[in-house]
Structure 1
Amino acid sequence: MAEEEDTPDGEEPKKSKMPLVLGLVLAFAGAAGGFYATWSGMILAETGDSRTESGTEEIKDPFGDIAFVEVDQMIISVNATPERRLLRFRAQLEVPKSQRDAVTKLLPRVVDVLNSYLRALEISDLEDQAALTRLRAQMLRRVQIVTGPDLVNDFLIMEFVVT
C-alpha cells in the first residue's frame, strides 16, 4: 500500500511558535534600545551646551524675566435687583521686569477699565461655570488695550468672591 499519514483526517499539523517568539524578542530589544538612546542623549538631545567654562551646569530660570504688578483690591456692587450683591476682586498683572515701572505708572487707568467692566456685569454673567475664564480673557484684553500689547503678558485673578 501507499504510505500512511500519522495524522487523523481533518486535522492540520501544528504551526511553530518560533516566529512569534522571535518577533516579541526583537520588539523588546528595539524598544529597550530606543529608550536607552533617548535617555542617554544620543537622539533628541538639546543642541546647545548648558555648561559654563568651569564645567558646572548653568541653571536657567524660566521665570527670570517676569515681574508681577498687584492691582489693588476692589469691592464692586453687582446688578442684582432683589438684593444687594458685592464682588470682591483682586488681581495681578504679569509683566516683563524691564516694563514693571511703566505698567505701575499706568495702574490708575487699568483700575478704571477694570472697574468700569466689572460694574457692567450682571449676576447671571457670574453664575456660569466658564464665567471666570471668559471674564479673565475679557479683562486681559482691556488691560492690553490700555497699556499696549507688549507690556502685559497675563492677567492673574487672585480673588473673585461674590457675597
Structure 2
Amino acid sequence: MAKKPKKAPEAEGEGGEAAAPKSKKKLIVIVMGAVVLLAAGGGGAFVMKKRAAAHAETEASAQPVEEKKAVVFLDVREMMLNLTPDAGQDRAKFAKLRIALELKDAKVEGEVKPLMPRVEDALQVYMRELRPSDLSSSLGLYRLREELLRRVNVAIYPAKVEAVLFKDVIVQ
C-alpha cells in the first residue's frame, strides 16, 4: 500500500488564499447591496413623509376656520327626592342631585331658561320611579344621564341641550 505524498505547505497556502478573496468580495458585494437598499428605503420614506405633510397642510389651509362659540352651562335647581324602594326593603331611600345642562351658546340659554319649570317636572317625574340599585353603578349613572338628556330635549323642543352633567349624586 503506497502512501500518497503529502502536498507541500506552499501549495496549500496558495489555494487557501485564492478562496479567501472570492468570499471577501462576495461579502463586500452583499453588504454594499444591503446598504444601498437601506439608503433607498430611508430616502423613499423621507420623501413620502414630506409629501404627506405637505398634503395635510394644503387640506388644513383649504378648510375655513370656524370660530369657537362659547359653551354655556345652565344649572338646574338642586333636587332631593325619595326613590322607589328595592324589593324586600321597607326603608325609604333618598337621592340628592345637582345637574347642569350644557348648551351650545347663549342664544339657546335664552330659549331654555323660561322652560326650566317644564324641565324640572320632567326630571322629577322620571327620577321618582328609580330604585337605589339603578344609581349604584357607573353604568346606571350613564343610563340615567342619557335618559335625562332625552327627556330634557323633549321638554324644551325645538331648542337642544348638548349634554346633562352631574355635579352631585348622593343616594342615602
Report the count of equivalent residues.
144
Pair member with larger Rg: 2
Q: d(CA) in 2 for partners of 1:36 and 1:146?
A: 53
Say whether residues 1:70 and 2:75 are aligned partners: yes
**1:153 alignment partner, one of 157, 162, 171:** 162
Conservation of the 8 A alpha-carbon contact between 2:112 and 2:159: no
% identical aligned pairs: 25
TM-score, scaled relative to structure 2: 0.68
Equivalence for 1:138 = 147
Equivalence for 2:133 = 124
Runs of 5+ unmatched residues, structure 2? 1-14, 21-25
Q: d(CA) in 1 for partners of 2:149 and 2:122?
A: 11
Q: How far did 1:116 drift?
A: 0.9
**1:21 alignment partner, one of 35, 39, 61:** 35
Q: d(CA) in 2 for partners of 1:26 and 1:79?
A: 72
Equivalence for 2:10 = none
Q: d(CA) in 2 for partners of 1:116 and 1:101?
A: 24
Conservation of the 8 A alpha-carbon contact between 2:82 and 2:128: yes
TM-score, scaled relative to structure 1: 0.72
Q: How far did 1:143 drift?
A: 0.5
Equivalence for 1:43 = 55
Q: How far did 1:74 drift?
A: 0.8
Q: Report runs of 4+ in structure 1 exceeding 6 Å deviation.
A: none
State the superposition RMSD in angstroms.
Answer: 2.9
Task: Summarize the Cα distance change of 1:43–1:107 in structure 2 as closer, same or farther, 3 Å threshold.
Answer: same
What CA deviation, in whole Å up to 9, does each residue of 1:68-118 have, x standing for no partner? 111011112122324332211111112232121110100111011111111
More moved, 96-105 vs 75-84: 75-84
Q: d(CA) in 2 for partners of 1:25 and 1:149?
A: 62
